[in-house]
Amino acid sequence: MTEIPAPATFGLVLAGGLARRMGGGDKARIEIGGVTILDRVLATLSGQCVDIIINANGDPKRFEDTGCVVVKDSVPDFAGPLAGILAGLDYLAAQNNGIEWMLSVPGDCPFLPDDLTERLHEARRKMGAGVPLACARSGEWRHPVVGLWPLALREDLRKALMVEGLHKIEIWTARHGIAIADWPDQPIDPFFNVNTPEDAAKAEKIAAGQ
């Protein structure tokens, strides 16, 4: 059976969180094994996405060194990751480049898999044409912000956020149907995220053993 290649996919790194548990600042700038989490994420996505942008609020110049375009939320008051996803889809639509898919990942996951885009598209295809979304799961944990988003649902997402005030990803995705791509969570959970200083210390140990 011939494998179907994944369609061209745009990349979005969600770095708009407030990082309260880390004392503020950008979690994505924490170094793990001598490399920032953001640089690790960008390196992993660069082989999977045609281009990558960063969603972040505040001064965009702090990400200038990455060479990535930075887009801020269009929905006020830190409305959560769906607002960042909408900002990414709006940017993609404005490019008018024929790309119909966007992959989102959080900016605090240092060990993302190299086959993320491919596996998410595969899961979506297996579920059939009526399922437009896909997200990742490792072990028993679903990761709703690690997902594929079709440009075709951009205006529906805008309505959910701006008119309905809906901010929970899993409620919105359940309306449309979502495929799940599974990864093992051992020996390393590829979606381990750094939220606390203890998480950063654990990630350092993981990186040292790679």
Per residue of the chain (210 residues), give pLDDT as tens.
446 778 999 999 999 655 544 445 688 999 999 999 999 999 999 999 999 999 998 899 999 999 999 999 988 776 789 999 999 999 999 999 999 999 999 999 999 999 999 999 999 999 887 889 999 999 999 999 999 999 999 999 999 999 999 989 999 999 999 999 999 999 999 999 998 999 999 999 999 987
Q: Supply the pLDDT for residue 25.
A: 66
Residue 151 buriedness (CB in 10 A; 0-12 / 13-18 / 19+): middle
What sign has the CA pseudo-torsion 175, 86, 145, 17? negative
Concatenated DSSP letters for 99-134?
Answer: --EEEEEETT-TT--TTHHHHHHHHHHHH-TT--EE
At 119 the pLDDT is 96
The Cα 116–Cα 134 span in angstroms is 11
Catalogue all structural domains in the chain, each as residue range(s) with its CATH number.
9-209 (3.90.550.10)
Report yes or no: 90 and 72 within 8 Å, Cβ to Cβ: no
> Tell me, what's the pLDDT at 17?
57
The strand pairing partners of 10, in sequence order, are 102
